[in-house]
Amino acid sequence: MSWFRNLSKLSSLKKLPNITSSRNTHPFPLTLLSPHHHHFTTTASSINHVGGGLEPTKPHEKPRVVVLGTGWAGCRLMKGLDPEIYDIVCVSPRNHMVFTPLLASTCVGTLEFRSVAEPVSRIQPAISREPGSYFFLANCIGVDTHNHVVQCETVTEGTQTLDPWKFTVSYDKLVIALGAQPTTFGIHGVHEHAIFLREVYHAQEIRRKLLLNLMLSDVPGISEEEKQRLLHCVVVGGGPTGVEFSGELSDFIMRDVRQRYSHVKDYIHVTLIEANEILSSFDDRLRRYATKQLTKSGVRLVRGIVKDVGDEKIILNDGTEVPYGLLVWSTGVGPSPLIRSLDLPKSPGGRIGIDEWLRVPSIEDVFAIGDCSGYVESTGKPILPALAQVAERQGKYLANLLNKIGKANGGRANSVSDIDIGDPFVYKHLGSMATIGSYKALVDLRHSKEEKGLSLAGFISWFIWRSAYLTRVISWRNRFYVAINWATTLVFGRDISRI
């Protein structure tokens, strides 16, 4: 007997009209659960899911593009794909894209976390609307290019909900956009003790730890040394992320900590450690300006190489010990173990090899874009930098290319051979931007490091920085929220509740 019919009998609401749920196509009590309620009596039944999956597409269905990853590359691609031509299936452990250039601002409360996250289904609504399009919360664990199949495993956060299970997805076209992972140069302790700044949960962790340290350092019984250590924020890596985070942190200290944590305001300090020069991709003049501004707002710039990371201190190459309370690691990215393990052509440096049309050479129907991909040596082209700009441009190009192929009836697996695929992808660098705190930013509009060109620094750059990112935030909803967040921070200061 169905447990649900039992429930119905228990209900005290006999006087009411029968339940006629407006959103059910079938009558509610009969369809809610199957009568075999013994399926629920053990958890064992939920463990052994292996082998389920999406079969190859049938002739009457649309061809299927499978996209691995929801970063800049994958999301821009999905946005541009024509859902009239393709069914889109996205596999990623994250159901949203992170607007990474603004992530540093969320750590100190200048922006809300949600303002920098864009759900995939808002980027490409067909994914939730079309019967053959899906988003799967899962990790890709392997690719079988011979059979046009991707192996996946669900992300379930332990047994509280369900144990993870494996499934497969057949593709007509596969786009690998899995990104890269932070580099640690094999330094011991980085993974255990440092926080990266790539995902929203990293920003949340930084924020919680920063606020915890601020509050703990105010509690009676803490020694002076520990107070100093707790409030010493160390950033390793002087690229745009490290510099922007240091700048935001110093803004937070200048404006908010001084007011709201007045007991400890003289103890909090920021140190930025870089092995070479900060912002090495920027113009010399901008770099000097940034150095001066950061120093002026209290960020300590240190040239050094980290040898070891402990839970309360890092050790530099010359033996110097640097106690810290918060350690943020942003020394660039490299290929992930999965990317390394895939049996595909590779570029110098271990990324997935691609030709100038972003195809993986000699493998039918497989493409790779973004930080996980690099030109194979035979193209004679240099590997493009791991920038949002590159990833986004590649996603856009490939969406157009796939739409073109699909229109020419080349959307099915193994059907593309005689189609004109047009011009190759050409990357043109539009320039670099970085904010350095105190309403100041750098804008470098040179097309490459060697060329001459316009470069700006200061308040106007900061204004350009904000405007540029505001217009590039993907949805109107988040554009609106980012603007509101900025205005609120200006008027009311940053939020410091630790939730």
What residues numbered 45-84 form the site for its own copies, per CB under 8 A? 45-46, 49-54
Identify the sign of the CA torsion 498, 102, 294, 308.
Answer: positive
* Backbone Cα Rg of the chain: 26
Give 10's contacts (C-beta < 8 A, 6+ positions apart). Answer: none
User: Can residue 341 be called a binding residue for its own copies (CB under 8 A)?
Assistant: no
At 67, list the tokens: 């996209």
Sorted by sequence, the CB contacts under 8 Å of residue 362 that are 6+ apart come out as: 345
**Using CA atoms, how far apart are residues 308 and 236, in angstroms rounded to an integer?**
12
CB 394 within 8 A of CB 370: yes
Is 158 among the residues that bind its own copies (CB under 8 A)?
no
Are 255 and 438 contacting, i.e. CB atoms less than 8 angstroms apart?
no
* 100 scored as a contact of its own copies (CB under 8 A): no
- Rounded to a whole number of angstroms, the minimum distance from the CB of residue 62 to its own copies is 16
Region from 59-67, 129-137, 141-149, 380-388 binding its own copies, contact rule CB under 8 A: 129-137
Among the candidate windows 142-150, 201-209, 383-391, 457-465, which touches its own copies by CB under 8 A?
Answer: 201-209
Number of shown-chain residues binding its own copies (CB under 8 A): 137
Residue 449 near its own copies by CB under 8 A: no
Q: How far apart are CA 307 and CA 238, in angstroms?
A: 17
> Which residue, 308 or 364, is less far from its own copies as judged by CB?
308
- Give the shortest CB-467-to-its own copies separation in angstroms: 21
Token pair recorded at residue 303: 């040239």
Contacts with its own copies in 11-50 (CB under 8 A)? 11-13, 16-17, 19-26, 28, 31-34, 36-37, 39-41, 43, 45-46, 49-50
Binding segment toward its own copies, per CB under 8 A, in 5-13, 71-79, 178-186, 351-359:
5-13
Question: CA of 177: how far to CAs of 12, 261, 369, in Å?
Answer: 54, 43, 5
Choice from 100, 139, 183, 228 touching its own copies (CB under 8 A): 228
Cβ closest to its own copies, residue 326 vs residue 360? 326
Q: Which residues, numbered 253-312, are part of the site for its own copies (CB under 8 A)?
A: 253-254, 258-263, 265-266, 269, 271, 277, 291-292, 295-298, 300-304, 311-312
Closest distance to its own copies from the beta carbon of 64 (Å): 13
Q: Which one, 39 or 447, has the nearer CB to its own copies?
A: 39
Longest dimension (CA), the chain: 81
Q: How far apart are CA 472 and CA 191, in angstroms?
A: 32
Q: Which is nearer to its own copies, 445 or 470 (CB)?
A: 470
Taking the CA atoms of residue 192, residue 181, residue 270 and residue 481 in that order, the dihedral angle to the nearest 10 degrees is: -120
Residue 283 contacts residue 452 (beta carbons within 8 Å): no
The residue from 215, 386, 419, 468 that contacts its own copies (CB under 8 A) is 215
Distance CA 448, CA 281 (A): 9
Neighbours of 489 (CB within 10 A): 20
Q: Which residue, 40 or 463, is less far from its own copies as judged by CB?
A: 40
Pick 97 or 402: Cβ nearer its own copies = 97
Site track 132-151 with its own copies (rule: CB under 8 A), x = hit: --xxxxx-------------
What is each CA distance from 455 to 284, 387, 449, 460, in whole angstroms? 10, 19, 12, 11
Q: Which is nearer to its own copies, 108 or 398 (CB)?
A: 108
Tell me which of 80, 82, 112, 424 binds its own copies, using CB under 8 A. 112
